[in-house]
Structures are given as structure tokens and as C-alpha cells.
């Protein structure tokens, strides 16, 4: 008999296991994949730490979170500065003076950029933008929307910008400085040696059963522990009784190439709709690797999720959030099981939010 059964060895599950063990509780972690780490798993291939489930950059403004994660790894000083390729044009992201001056050859100063954006949005400015398209045009005007947002977003989410919530685009900074940092957070970096090392450190001394799907035999697993922390899909836990929540899945096409530098940057977004992938990740650049003779790239194809696929992104639009509330109502009545993490809480959480959510939950335990 264990004190805690933890379903999922991703960041949320691993933090819970680590902290509960520290408090003297016995824990068993079940993981349906053949490795630990969930979506932050990295694998060393040809000396390069490959982000197997997409580019992961740790960023936060929360000191508690930054201190917490730094116990488990040293972080390098990587700053994410993706570039966008639209047809045969290259622009800096996020939207900043480098983007504006390249896009509009008569723009040189912040006030000229603001005037240009103002002119582009004045006929369609919405006081309260109701969808991603309205929000995007409000923020950056029509040209940037058409070249850098519309196609990329449609590929990423499989929906038109008019059908998506505005908060998604508010993740990206818009700056009137020449600053290509994709994030506004105080702290940012990549763990040296890869993310898997963090999870390994968290799970040290804890029993983990890989290739084990809790839902396939939940009654026997429930009998093993007093409490359960479940970080899988909440709708799957309840057998999709109100219908499935929506997710996006991603197909990663990874290649080892015989060149030492394929694209000169870790992340290049392909923003036109006609290119079927959303972005290409060149993993070695996360760690400033200039010596290995080979490189590894991953093309990301975002597709509709159906049961059995990996549910990478919750689609937090109004319909899904309402459906989630029905599942949450059931979850709130449970006494033995707690639902946490990106899938358990059905939230488009970055890693720092997952850390915070886990730490907050752990504080509620005696």
C-alpha cells in the first residue's frame, strides 16, 4: 500500500512525487509512455539534446518557480528569438522594431511604427476584441496579421482566427524597441544537459512503472494507494461521458542531417498557410552547440486530435471550457483523487504555471 499513486511522470507528477517523498510519504508513479518526463522529455542523439515533444524554453517571472526549478538543473542563458519565414521573406519575432522596419521600409522610429499600425487598424479597431483576428489587428495592424499570424494560427489550431479566443495571441509581446526576446519574463533558459535530467532528479528513489496505463486497470491501481494524483486527460478519466474535450496534436518529423548548421536559429516559424508545417526546430542551437558536425531538425505538423493521439494542446475556447467545467464538477466531488497539470486541469499552461500549480496544490496538503 502506497500513500500516493501518481498518474503521469510529467513535470506536475514528478514535482508531486518529489515533494511528497520529502515529506515522508511513499509514492508510486505510473507512466503510460516508455519514458519519464511527459512533454518536456529530451533525448540525447548524436550529442544533441533533442526536445522530443517540441521546443521547450523555460521562462518565468515568478521567483519562487525559478528558484524551485534551479534546484534540479543549471540553466544556460538561452533567450528565445524565433524568426518567421513568410514566402521568401524573413522577419524577427515577436513583433518589434526589427519586424516593423523590415516590413515597412519607410519606418525607422517607434512613433513611425505606431503611426503605421494605427493607419492599418483605424477602420477596423475593436474596443473589445472578441476573437483572435480582431485582437491581432488591434495590436499590429493588417499587414502583420496577414503575413505572420493568419496562416500560422490557422495551421496551429485548425480553425480560422475569427473562431479562436483572443487570449492566444496576447501571449506574444508587441514591442516598440529593437528587442527580439520572445518572452517578457525576468528569467529564461534551457537546462544544461536536457530536461529529462530534471525529471530524473525529481524522481530519484521513487518507484516508477513505465508502459503502464492507469486507465486500463484503474480498480487494481486504486487499491494500491490511499490517495491519487492524476495528470492525464480529465475527460478520459470520466470515459468521455459528456463528450471529448478538444485538443491539438502534433506530428514531429525529426531528421539527422549531415550539416553542422541548417537554419542558424533554434526556431523558424513558417507563417504562410501553404507550407504544411508550422515551424522547424534545430535542437543544437538551444545549447549554442557549434562543434558537432551533424544537426537534428524537427518539423512540426499540427493536426486534429482524435482518441489515441497525444493531446498536446488543450483548445481553450468557450465551448471546451464550458465542457471542462462539467468534468470539473465531477472532479470537485472526488475525495480520493486530485486532478492536476495541463491535461488534468485542461489549461494551456506553460511549464512555470505547471510548477506553480503543483506547488500550490502541495501546500494544501497536511
CB of 116 to ligand FAD, least distance (A): 30
Report whether 294 contacts 259 (CB < 8 A): yes
Distance CA 21, CA 28 (A): 10
Q: Return the beta strands (E) in the chain as ranges.
A: 2-7, 27-30, 42-45, 48-51, 58-60, 83-86, 89-92, 187-189, 207-209, 225-230, 247-257, 267-270, 279-282, 295-304, 313-314, 337-339
352 is catalytic: no
Q: Which of 20, 342, 346, 361 binds ligand FAD (CB under 6 A)?
A: 342
Window of 113-121, 153-161, 185-193, 212-220 that interacts with ligand FAD by CB under 6 A = 212-220
Catalytic residue among 33, 85, 248, 342: 248
Select 196 or 231, whichever has its Cβ closest to ligand FAD: 231
Range in contact with ligand FAD (rule: CB under 6 A) among 53-61, 185-193, 257-265, 276-284 = 53-61
Q: Is 218 a catalytic residue?
A: no
Residues that bind ligand UDP (CB under 6 A): 84, 93, 148-149, 152-153, 156, 168-169, 171-172, 269, 271
Sequence-distant (≥ 6) Cβ neighbours of residue 131 within 8 angstroms: 161, 162, 163, 164, 165, 166
| Catalytic entry in 25, 262, 301, 348 | 348
Residues within window 345-364 making contact with ligand FAD, judged by CB under 6 A: 349-352, 354
Phi-psi bin for 360: left (phi > 0), alpha (psi -120 to 50), beta? alpha
Q: How far apart are CA 349 and CA 326, in angstroms?
A: 20
- Is residue 279 annotated as a catalytic residue, yes or no? yes
Contact between residue 142 and residue 121 where contact means Cβ atoms under 8 Å apart:
yes
Q: How far is the CB of 100 from ligand UDP (least distance, A)?
A: 15
The residue written with cell numbers 499587414 in the block is 143
Smaller CB separation from ligand FAD, 17 or 117: 17
Of 362, 353, 352, 366, nearest to 69 by C-alpha is 352
Q: Would residue 248 show up in a list of annotated catalytic residues for this protein?
A: yes
**Contacted entry of ligand UDP, ligand FAD, none for residue 356, CB cut-off 5 to 8 Å set by kind:** none
> How far apart are alpha carbons 95 and 144 in whole angstroms?
8
CB 84 within 8 A of CB 107: no
Of the two residues 58 and 324, which places its CB atom closer to ligand FAD in the complex? 58
- Minimal distance, residue 348 CB to ligand FAD, in Å: 8
Question: Which residue among 33, 85, 121, 175 is the active-site one?
Answer: 175
Residues 143-202 that bind ligand FAD (CB under 6 A): none
Burial 133-142, CB ≥16 within 10 A → b, else e: bbbbbbbbbb
- Given 86, 279, 287, 342, the catalytic residue: 279
The yes-or-no answer on residue 175 being catalytic is yes
Give 248's strand partners.
Answer: 304, 313
Residue from 2, 4, 53, 187 binding ligand FAD (CB under 6 A): 53
- Smaller CB separation from ligand FAD, 5 or 107: 5
Q: Which does 57 bind (CB under 5 to 8 A by kind): ligand FAD, ligand UDP, none?
A: ligand FAD
Binds ligand FAD by CB under 6 A, chosen from 2, 4, 8, 157: 8
- No. of H helices and E strands in the chain? 13, 16
Q: Which does 169 bind (CB under 5 to 8 A by kind): ligand FAD, ligand UDP, none?
A: ligand UDP
The three-state secondary structure class of 259 is: coil
Q: What's the burial of 45, exposed, middle or buried (CB within 10 Å: 0-12/13-18/19+)?
A: middle
Binding partner selected for residue 231 from ligand UDP, ligand FAD, none, CB under the kind-specific 5 to 8 Å limit: ligand FAD
- Residue 60: CB minimum distance to ligand UDP, A: 14
Indicate which single residue of 54, 173, 193, 244 sits in contact with ligand FAD (rule: CB under 6 A): 54
Q: Which residues pair with 45 in a beta bridge?
A: 48
Q: Which residue is associated with the grid cell 473589445?
A: 128
Residues that bind ligand FAD (CB under 6 A): 7-13, 30-33, 38-40, 53-58, 213-215, 231-232, 250, 312-313, 341-343, 349-352, 354
* Residues taking part in catalysis: 171, 175, 248, 279, 300, 348, 350
Amino acid at each position: 500500500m502506497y500513500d500516493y499513486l501518481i498518474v503521469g511522470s510529467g513535470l506536475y507528477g514528478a514535482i508531486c512525487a518529489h515533494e511528497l517523498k520529502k515529506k515522508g510519504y511513499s509514492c508510486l508513479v505510473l507512466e503510460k509512455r516508455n519514458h519519464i518526463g511527459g512533454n518536456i522529455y529530451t533525448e540525447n542523439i548524436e550529442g544533441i539534446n533533442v526536445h522530443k515533444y517540441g521546443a521547450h524554453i523555460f521562462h518565468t517571472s515568478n521567483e519562487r518557480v525559478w528558484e524551485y526549478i534551479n534546484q534540479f538543473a543549471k540553466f544556460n542563458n538561452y533567450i528565445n528569438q524565433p524568426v518567421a519565414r513568410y514566402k521568401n521573406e524573413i522577419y524577427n519575432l515577436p513583433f518589434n522594431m526589427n519586424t516593423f522596419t523590415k516590413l515597412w521600409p519607410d519606418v525607422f522610429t517607434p512613433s513611425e511604427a505606431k503611426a503605421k499600425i494605427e493607419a492599418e487598424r483605424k477602420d477596423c479597431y475593436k474596443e473589445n476584441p472578441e476573437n483572435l483576428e480582431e485582437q491581432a489587428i488591434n495590436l499590429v495592424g493588417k499587414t502583420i496579421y496577414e503575413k505572420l499570424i493568419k496562416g500560422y494560427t490557422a495551421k496551429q489550431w485548425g480553425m480560422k482566427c475569427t473562431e479562436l479566443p483572443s487570449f492566444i495571441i496576447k501571449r506574444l509581446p508587441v514591442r516598440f524597441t529593437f528587442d527580439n526576446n520572445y518572452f517578457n519574463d525576468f528569467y529564461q533558459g534551457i537546462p544544461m544537459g536536457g530536461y529529462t535530467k530534471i525529471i530524473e532528479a525529481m524522481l530519484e528513489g521513487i518507484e516508477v512503472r513505465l508502459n503502464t496505463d492507469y486507465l486500463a486497470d484503474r480498480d487494481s491501481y486504486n487499491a494500491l494507494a490511499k490517495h491519487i494524483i492524476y495528470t492525464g486527460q480529465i475527460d478520459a478519466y470520466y470515459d468521455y461521458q459528456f463528450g471529448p474535450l478538444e485538443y491539438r496534436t502534433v506530428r514531429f518529423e525529426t531528421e539527422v542531417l549531415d550539416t553542422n548548421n541548417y537554419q542558424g536559429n533554434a526556431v523558424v516559424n513558417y507563417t504562410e498557410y501553404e507550407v504544411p508545417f508550422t515551424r522547424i526546430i534545430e535542437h543544437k542551437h538551444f545549447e549554442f552547440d557549434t562543434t558537432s558536425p551533424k544537426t537534428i531538425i524537427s518539423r512540426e505538423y499540427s493536426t486534429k486530435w482524435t482518441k489515441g493521439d497525444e493531446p498536446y494542446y488543450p483548445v481553450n475556447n468557450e465551448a471546451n471550457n464550458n465542457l471542462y467545467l462539467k468534468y470539473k464538477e465531477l472532479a470537485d466531488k472526488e475525495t480520493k483523487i486530485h486532478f492536476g497539470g495541463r491535461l488534468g486541469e485542461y489549461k494551456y499552461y506553460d511549464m512555470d504555471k505547471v510548477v506553480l500549480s503543483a506547488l500550490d496544490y502541495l501546500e494544501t496538503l497536511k
